[in-house]
Chains A and B, each alone.
Chain A
Amino acid sequence: DAKTTQPPSMDCAEGRAANLPCNHSTISGNEYVYWYRQIHSQGPQYIIHGLKNNETNEMASLIITEDRKSSTLILPHATLRDTAVYYCIVRTSMTTDSWGKLQFGAGTQVVVTP
C-alpha cells in the first residue's frame, strides 16, 4: 500500500472550515484513500473514503486531485469536539475474499480553538 505524508499538526478556529492535506504520490490505480480520526483516549473512528471522485458525508468532505497524488479532508464547520488526530491511509479495496491492513501513520493533530 502507498505511503502517505501529512503535516504533524494544525490549528483551526471553531466554526471555520478545517482543510487537512494528505500527499500520496505513489498511490496506484486500485488504492482508495481512507480517513480516520482518533479523539483523545478513544479508539480510531472512520470518517470517509474515496477512490477518484470527491465524496461527502455527514462528517466531512474528501477532495481528491485529478492525478490522485494528494487529497484534502474538509471539516466544514469545525467544533471543539473535532479536536483529534486525523489519519490519512491508502490501501487497496476489499473484495469478498481479500483483506488487508490499515497502516496508521503519525497523522495530523488538529486542535480546534474557541
Chain B
Amino acid sequence: DAGVIQSPRHEVTEMGQEVTLRCKPISGHNSLFWYRQTMMRGLELLIYFNNNVPIDDSGMPEDRFSAKMPNASFSTLKIQPSEPRDSAVYFCASRTSGGVDTQYFGPGTRLTVL
C-alpha cells in the first residue's frame, strides 16, 4: 500500500513563476483534499473533490490558485503567478466516501517562493 503520493517533495521557485503540485490518492479513495500549512495560520483546507468533482473551494486564497482532478488517480494544485506569501507546506489527503472521516495524508510538498 503506497499511501498518498505527492510530488515534488520540495520546490523552490522565484516570485512570478508557475508552480504545479501533484497528488496521487490511495487507490479506491474517491475524496481528495488539498491543505496548506503555515506557522501563522496552521493547517487550512483549500479545496476538496468528491468523485473528481470540486465540492468546496472556499478555502482557495485567490484566483492565482487552481486545482484539478482529471481522473480518480491524479490531482494538481497550481499557483500562477506565485508569491512569497505562498510559501508553505501543501498536503494532499484522500479518503473513501461515507462512514467515518478518516483522511490519509501525503508527506506534503514544501514550497518556497523567493
Report whether chain A binds chain B. Answer: yes
Mask for B98-114, Cβ within 8 A of A = 1, else 0? Answer: 11111111111000000
Say if the beta carbon of A29 comes within 8 Å of chain B.
no
Contact B101 A34 (CB under 8 A): yes
* With contact pairs A99-B48, A102-B45 given, residues A94 and B107 touching in the complex (Cβ less than 8 Å): no
B102 touches A46 (CB 8 A): yes
Q: A46, B45: Cβ atoms under 8 Å?
A: no
Query: Shortest Cβ distance from B48 into chain A, in angstroms?
Result: 7
A43–B106 alpha-carbon span in the complex (Å) = 6
Report the tally of A-B residue pairs with Cβ distances under 8 A.
57
Smallest CB separation, A8 vs chain B (Å): 12
Closest to A36 in B: B103
**Which of under 10, 10 to 19, 20 to 34, or 35 or more describes the interface residues of B?**
20 to 34
- B4, B50, B55, B103: the one contacting A46 at CB < 8 Å is B103
B43, A94: Cβ atoms closer than 8 Å: no
A100 within 8 A of B: yes
**Is A86 close to B, CB under 8 A?**
no
Majority SS at the chain B contact face: strand
Q: How far is the CB of A87 from chain B (nearest CB, A)?
A: 8
Residues of B in contact with A (beta carbons under 8 Å apart): 4, 31, 42-45, 48, 50, 55-56, 91, 93, 97-108
One digit per residue, 1 when the CB lies within 8 angstroms of any chain B CB and 0 when it does not, for chain A 85-109 equals 0000001011111011111111000
State in angstroms the CA–CA spacing of A103 and B4 once bound together: 20
With A43-B93, A43-B108 in contact, do A102 and B101 touch (Cβ < 8 Å)? yes
Query: Contacts A34-B101, A43-B105, A94-B98 hold; do A99 and B31 have CB atoms under 8 A apart?
Result: yes
Decide if B56 touches A101 in the complex (CB within 8 Å): yes
Smallest Cβ-Cβ distance to A34: which chain B residue: B101
**Beta-carbon contact of B93 and A32 below 8 Å:** no
Knowing A43-B108, A95-B98, A96-B97, the reply to whether A104 touches B103 (Cβ < 8 A) is: no
CB-CB under 8 A for A99 and B45, given A46-B102, A94-B99, A94-B100: no
